[in-house]
Amino acid sequence: SSYSSNTDPYSDYIQLKLLSEDPSNYSDAPAEGIRRVIESVTNKKIPRNTPIDASLIGSIRMGTTVATNSLLEHTGEPTCLLISKGFRDVLQIGNQARPKIFDIQAKRPQVLYSHVIEVEERIILVDESDPLFVSDANSSRIVKVVSGESVIIEKEPDLVQVRNDLQVVYEQHGIRSIA
């Protein structure tokens, strides 16, 4: 678990390492890491196994085998996949990889999400080195994304519709995690 301030992400950086399992000291390693980071930042003691005030958390970045194992074992929280319209089943279809090509009982891996919300939107990667790329877009519709690349916003998502769709999944299915 780690912490960085909103104003300067490198000014206050706390990194913790915990055992994935240490039942004599804590029952849940991720929650314990978050608890320790919040204690360090706020200088307030938070008793173990008590709810953590989520308003103190802007985001969490966690690199751990706990998260990987949770994905592999399908023991994580129920998740909703938020994806571009028309790509609903792209993760289920996969990429034609066949690790056991001669296994007559080979089974497709189970997807890691239980619900899908398709978002009507469209972006185009700006790639001026591609001879097929034609930039006729208004420069105000070109934005730089987290990776540093530029994209053209061809169709903006309807954020009200996305919020409504997420609210339905939240209320009717109890899903609190999105990917």
Q: What is the pLDDT of residues 33-91, one digit of tens each?
A: 889 988 888 888 999 888 888 888 877 777 667 667 777 787 878 889 999 999 998 88
Torsion over CA of 51, 54, 55 and 57, rounded to 10 degrees? Answer: 130
Residue 10 has pLDDT above 60, yes or no: no
Q: What is the pLDDT of residues 75-98, one digit of tens each?
A: 878 889 999 999 998 888 877 777
Q: What is the pLDDT of residues 93-138, one digit of tens each?
A: 877 777 777 888 877 777 888 999 999 999 988 877 777 666 665 5
Taking a C-beta distance cutoff of 8 angstroms, is the pair 52, 35 a contact? yes
Torsion over CA of 169, 172, 173 and 179, rounded to 10 degrees? Answer: 10
Beta bridge partners of 144: 150
pTM for this one?
0.58
